[in-house]
Amino acid sequence: MKNENGAKNSFKHFIVCLLILFLGGGACVALISLASPKVNINSELDTRPAVASVPVSLIQYQTQINVAGVLEAAEKTDIAFELTGKIAWLNAAFIEGGIVKKGTILATLESFDYETQVSQQKAQLALAEADLAREIAMAKVAKVEWANNPKTTDLALRKPQVDSAKAQVTAAKANLALAEKNLTRTKYYAPYDALITGRDTGLGQVISEGESLGEMVNLSYGEIRIPIAGFDRPFLPKLPGDGIQIFPDPISPGPLSQEQSVRSGILTRHIGQFNNNTRMAYYIVRVDDPYGINTKLPPLHYGQFLQARIPGKHLSNVLKVPQEWIRNKSIWLVSQEQKLVEQPVTILRQEQDYALIEGDKWTNNGYRIVNQLPEYPQHGMLVKDTFSAAKLALKE
């Protein structure tokens, strides 16, 4: 009996140990399976190279031409009297660097001799008028005396004498007008708003007719002679072209502030010549009132180096892209099927770091412009567009 009971107890212990071992192993397998990540052995690795792209958008664009030149006086005048005489007075502003308004008296000559001439001519006119009155009276008497004579002559009626007296009066009036004009010429008036650039005379100096006393330049307007390259000429506006911004600071790609744009100019004309060395054409930009005499604008000075921004022709339906995106006159696109497409383009114009590309039919086919290419791009290559991937991620 004891042996049978012992065998039964041993069997029970074996079964219990076996169950414990089985349950422990299952628990360990469960813990390991929960802790380790799921690996999908059948998933394929995406080896497509990644690219970045931007939408294709056509714009209306106004071109601009940035040029530079020196502001110069459009008109210079030698200061000179039309008479001979002695300098009696000089304006304090008649010095180098002086600025005078139109009509300002710059210098006067001693006027005594010319005043005397006016008096003499007045006397001559009075004598001539008296002679004319006498001849007219005598002609009336002669007309009465010869009224019944059929052989009366013009000489008898004193007609030639009257005509001669009239001519003397006309000549006397002309001489008087010339004397009065010469008297006014003893004062030199500035013909325009002017900057005095030199003076070569002094008080009391005796001058001859036409002798230069100095030089002045017109301040009403100035001119900038600008060179235009051949590739810029097709984009120039029609002459005359206004809206040109003039400023002394270096040109910046963005819009100008009010402080930077100190003047507006007008593209007036082409000088009709090309530079022999550079083959550039030269145009003239007119700047009114450069010294700000009649306005409160900041002054510009003759001889100052200035920048000019010319608004050019408008371009319709063009792409504006960085020049670095263009390789061998082509840009790279990515299609809706995520394939690279090399597209030849026509570059209309280059400005700063950008190129303006002619729009074409391909712009409406769902393409996007690639701005970040793989190392060795190939036409038709399958790629992974990061823009499209980001779009899908947002949808999910």
DSSP state of 263: E
User: What pLDDT, on a 0 to 100 scale, did the predictor assign at position 148?
Assistant: 78
Q: How far, in Å, CA of 215 to CA of 75, rounded?
A: 11
Rounded to two decimals, the pTM is 0.68
Q: Which of helix, strand or coil describes residue 39?
A: coil
**CATH 2.40.420.20, applies to 51-61+316-395:** yes
From 287, 314, 317, select the one nearest 302 (Cα to Cα). 287
- Helix H segments across 262-303? none
Q: Quote the CA–CA distance of 224 and 221 in Å, as a whole number.
A: 10
Tokens 């008109």 found at: 75
- Domain ranges for the chain, please list them: 1-43, 51-61+316-395, 64-73+220-313, 80-217
Given the structure tokens 């506006």, which residue do they identify?
237
> In the numeric block, which tokens belong to residue 53?
């792209």
- From CA 110, how far away is CA 203, in angstroms rounded? 11
Q: Which fold is adopted by the domain 80-217?
A: OB fold (Dihydrolipoamide Acetyltransferase, E2P) (2.40.50)
**Of 286, 253, 216, 347, nearest in space to 69 by CA:** 286
Please provide the CATH number assigned to the domain covering 64-73+220-313.
2.40.30.170
Exposure letters 273-285 (e unless 16+ CB within 10 A, then b): eeeeeeebbbbbb
pLDDT cut 90: percent of the chain above it: 39
Q: Answer yes or no: is pLDDT of 184 > 70.
A: yes
pLDDT 10s digits, 343-369: 888 888 888 888 998 876 667 677 888
> Which candidate, 247, 272, 276, 251, places its Cα nearest to that of 262?
247
- Domains 51-61+316-395 and 64-73+220-313 in one fold: no
pLDDT digits (tens, 9 = 90+) for 79-106: 999 999 999 999 999 999 999 999 999 9
